């Protein structure tokens, strides 16, 4: 199967962009991920860092990655049922190991589980339009569930939103100390994540994957439309996404991140705007690809996209080492954490470029493919990471 270099580039952007979200999850308590007022009103720099990332990155790169994942499922349909089931099952198992033994912010398990459902829907819905519309509907159901959660919530914040001193000390202890205590806490976090996946996030994830499958079928994610179309679409989607989200960001600040309104209801503008903005980012890449293709950094980012799994887990390795083994946890504010991101990106870029000079696939991509072939009962290729 011939690679689409533009899609590799967009996937690379998504993997690198996800770190903009995850860096606060690595360096700050879990409550800080959505609540910048987790220990009182944030400083000016903390607020503007949070607001900028909320508008440009939060949920957007995850949604973009989910759309590309669905596009990948569409492309892999000719491999057959057994191949896809084996591939996604191994991804879920790898995600489970990652979530329990390395970092509680894992997304691989979610993608594996929902992928096992979504690929059948992508295969069985004959009409591209119906597939796209069904994906949009599922995504909107996930957003609507947030509204339902807001209605049934008692409005009183718990320790996951406003942690006490003891909660913060204990979280710092088990993350830094590691061992069985950390495993137990990650298992507890995993159970909560799976409940959220089944009740709310799974709808959005499945919807994004189906939209991705439909856009791949239509040729939109193959770059088969005109540059003028992509340019016009990109600016339109970005404008609409901003119009939806900026009032939500303002209201969160105005209400001082009050749990009653912010924990669920005011997350909905971001979630509604995220797929529009994610598609705008992809459209920009197609629209300006002739210019982007001339840049050396474009090749490096494409290499990151070819090794997406390896690079995602490499980010975990680097960040858990920095924050949990070198005691950087809770030592940096949001702006300082953001300054760490380019260093991790540099490692992703350099490692990917050097590795792909000698091998056709990343090391974990090779392992994943090897295990998939074994589980699917297909002969294993005898090549170096190829």
Contact indicator for 303, 186 with CB cutoff of 8 Å: no
The mean pLDDT value for 138-156 works out to: 96
Per-residue pLDDT reduced to its tens digit, 101-121:
999 999 999 999 999 999 999
- 58 burial level (CB within 10 Å; 0-12, 13-18, 19+): buried
The mean pLDDT value for 352-369 works out to: 97
Rounded CA separation 293/304 (Å): 15
Contact indicator for 309, 385 with CB cutoff of 8 Å: no
Q: Provide the 10 A C-beta neighbour count for residue 93.
A: 14
The mean pLDDT value for 197-208 works out to: 97
Cα separations (Å) of 251 from 139, 243, 356?
Answer: 23, 13, 46
Rounded CA separation 369/386 (Å): 9
Q: Provide the 10 A C-beta neighbour count for residue 21.
A: 18
Question: What is the pLDDT, as a whole number, of residue 386?
Answer: 44
Q: What is the CA radius of gyration of the chain?
A: 20
The mean pLDDT value for 353-378 works out to: 95
Contact indicator for 103, 18 with CB cutoff of 8 Å: no
Question: What is the pLDDT, as a whole number, of residue 244?
Answer: 98
211: pLDDT strictly greater than 60: yes
3 state DSSP class of 38: strand
DSSP letter at 380 equals P
DSSP letter at 319 equals H
Q: What global pTM score does this model have?
A: 0.96
Q: Give percent of the chain above pLDDT 70.
A: 98
CB neighbour list of residue 329: distance below 8 Å, 6 or more residues apart: 26, 27, 28, 172, 175, 176, 323
Per-residue pLDDT reduced to its tens digit, 15-50:
999 999 999 999 999 999 999 999 999 999 999 999
The closest of 65, 267, 80, 60 to 161, measured between CA atoms, is: 267
Per-residue pLDDT reduced to its tens digit, 59-94:
999 999 999 999 999 999 999 999 999 999 999 999
């Amino acid at each position: 199967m011939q690679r689409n270099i533009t899609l590799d580039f967009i996937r690379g952007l998504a993997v690198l962009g996800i770190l903009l979200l995850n860096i606060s999850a690595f360096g700050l308590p879990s409550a800080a991920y959505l609540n910048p007022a987790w220990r009182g009103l944030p400083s000016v720099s903390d607020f503007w860092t949070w607001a900028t990332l909320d508008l440009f990155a939060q949920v957007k790169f995850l949604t973009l990655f989910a759309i590309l994942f669905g596009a990948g499922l569409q492309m892999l349909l000719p491999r057959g049922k057994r191949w896809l089931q084996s591939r996604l099952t191994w991804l879920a198992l790898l995600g489970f190991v990652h979530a329990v033994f390395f970092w509680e912010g894992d997304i691989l398990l979610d993608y594996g589980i929902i992928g096992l459902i979504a690929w059948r829907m992508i295969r069985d819905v004959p009409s591209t339009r119906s597939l796209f519309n069904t994906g949009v509907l599922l995504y909107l159901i996930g957003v609507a569930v947030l509204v339902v959660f807001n209605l049934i919530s008692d409005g009183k914040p718990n320790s996951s939103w406003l942690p006490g001193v003891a909660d913060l000390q204990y979280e710092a202890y088990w993350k830094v100390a590691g061992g069985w205590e950390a495993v137990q806490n990650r298992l507890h976090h995993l159970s909560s994540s799976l409940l959220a996946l089944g009740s709310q996030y799974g709808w959005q994830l499945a919807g994004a994957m189906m939209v991705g499958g439909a856009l791949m079928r239509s040729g939109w994610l193959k770059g088969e439309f005109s540059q003028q179309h992509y340019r016009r679409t990109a600016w339109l989607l970005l404008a609409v996404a901003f119009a939806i989200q900026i009032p939500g960001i303002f209201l969160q600040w105005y209400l001082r991140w009050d749990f009653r309104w912010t924990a669920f209801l005011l997350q909905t503008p971001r979630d509604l705007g995220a797929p529009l903005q994610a598609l705008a980012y992809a459209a920009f890449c197609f629209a300006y690809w002739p210019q982007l293709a001339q840049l050396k950094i474009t090749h490096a980012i494409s290499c990151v996209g070819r090794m997406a799994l390896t690079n995602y887990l490499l980010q975990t390795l680097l960040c858990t080492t920095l924050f949990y083994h070198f005691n950087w946890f809770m030592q940096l504010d949001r702006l300082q954490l953001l300054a760490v991101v380019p260093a991790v990106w540099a490692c992703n870029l350099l490692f990917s470029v050097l590795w792909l000079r000698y091998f056709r696939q990343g090391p974990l991509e090779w392992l994943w493919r090897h295990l998939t072939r074994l589980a699917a009962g297909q002969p294993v290729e005898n090549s170096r990471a190829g």
